Every structure is written in C-alpha cells, then in structure tokens.
Homo-oligomer: A and B are copies of this chain.
C-alpha cells in the first residue's frame, strides 16, 4: 500500500476551480480529503445540470476513459489526494483485490445515482427540496456525532442556491419559494443562506413523499 503513496500527492483547489473540464482528457483521479466537488454536465442550450456531488472519502475522476464526459468543479475549497490516472490504472491491474473493491463501490454508486434520478424525475419540487434537506441533515448529524453532544439539528448545505437548483433540476427562484414555505410552516428555520435548523423532521419527511427508510438509505450513501 506504500506503493500508492509513491504515485499520489495532495493538491488543493480554491472554490470555483474546474478540476477537470467536460470533454477534457481524463488524467487525474483520486480521493477527496476535504471539501465538496460537483459533477456536472452542460448541455447545448447552455444550462448545466449537476449530476452528482462528491464528499470527503469519495473517489473522483473517470477511470479507463480517454476523456471525461462531465466536469469536476470545486464547490468549496477542496483538498484532494490526487493520482495520475494511468498510474492508478496500472496499480489496479497489479492489485485485483483493490479493483474488486472499486467495482463494489461503483455498483453502489450506480444504485444511488438511479435512485436519485427516480426522485428528481417523478416528484414535485417541494418533494425534492424536502428530500435534499433531510439527506443533508443526516449527513450533518453524522458529522456532529463525533463531537459527542446532542447537536441542535443544524444543517449545513455548502452549496449556492443556484447549485442546489441545478442539482434538483429547478431554478433558484422556485427553490427559494419552497424553502421559504417550509420556513413559514415551521418545519425548518433559516439561519443564513447555507445553514438551517431542522425543527420538525417528521413534517419534512412527509413533504418528501418518501418513507423514512428510503431517505435514510439515500443519506447513507
């Protein structure tokens, strides 16, 4: 495993940097150490769509392809454990066990992407907003668990309204209206643009149109 250290190195990117552009040569892969990366696709019409978000410990980059079909962009300041793509591919060839784990991870990712696609497609904007808020609340909670104390259900979403809208397949305006509606209904409290307090988790779940189990499964990915 020390062989990995030889081909990997830490790299940092400031918020907004395009780590790998759509259609560019795929030459960098690795793991995210800190920050959030968005995976997006720009269509001919100019409007782009976020097809995935990557968090610390997630693998990024496109293996076994000459060019990347999507763009990887730093949504926050990002720290990566980066590797040369072909170097890592050679490593995989020498270590079938690691490749096996990679396959399992990608199968899980495939399920998650499909599940998210099903959510963004068949549901109203309010349901998508509620789902996203709940998923991020679980994620925040897990982070705070390390702190040990009973956290006051503060949800941190490190994305701009536009990014959230792109992720949910809507516009910043419609998104804002739905968030404000949830706030007026006392389901959440808006602390500031990127921080919310979750007041009524059950109400949020009922707004999402999903069962609690489904939501937790989505969040656990």
Residues of chain A at the chain B interface (Cβ within 8 Å)? 39, 41, 43-45, 47, 49, 51-52, 62-65, 69-70, 92-93, 96, 99-100, 102-104, 106-111, 113-123, 169, 209-211, 214
Main secondary structure on A side of the interface with B: helix
B210 contacts A44, C-beta separation under 8 Å: yes
Query: Which residues of the other chain, B, contact A113 by a CB distance below 8 angstroms?
Result: 110, 113-114, 117
Knowing A100-B99, A121-B120, A121-B121, say if A211 contacts B107 (CB, 8 Å).
Answer: no
Knowing A49-B122, A51-B118, A117-B51, say if A111 contacts B214 (CB, 8 Å).
Answer: no
B122 contacts A214, C-beta separation under 8 Å: no
In the complex, how many angstroms separate the beta carbon of A86 from the nearest chain B beta carbon? 14
Query: Which residues of the other chain, B, contact A51 by a CB distance below 8 angstroms?
Result: 114-115, 117-118
A-B CB contact pairs (8 Å), 26 listed: A43-B118, A43-B123, A43-B209, A44-B210, A45-B209, A47-B122, A49-B121, A51-B114, A51-B117, A51-B118, A62-B111, A64-B103, A64-B107, A69-B111, A99-B100, A102-B103, A106-B106, A106-B107, A106-B110, A109-B110, A110-B110, A110-B113, A113-B114, A113-B117, A116-B117, A122-B169
Our pick among B44, B45, B99, B118 for the contact of A99 (Cβ within 8 Å) is B99
A47 to B123, CA, bound (A): 10
Interface centre among A39, A44, A110, A114 (most CB of B within 10 A): A114
B43 contacts A121, C-beta separation under 8 Å: no
A43 contacts B210, C-beta separation under 8 Å: yes
A-B residue pairs, 8 tightest by C-beta: A121-B169, A96-B96, A51-B114, A49-B118, A117-B117, A41-B118, A49-B122, A103-B103
Query: Which residues of the other chain, B, contact A117 by a CB distance below 8 angstroms?
Result: 49, 51, 113, 116-117, 120-121
Knowing A70-B114, A96-B96, A169-B121, say if A44 contacts B103 (CB, 8 Å).
Answer: no
A119 to B49, CA, bound (A): 9
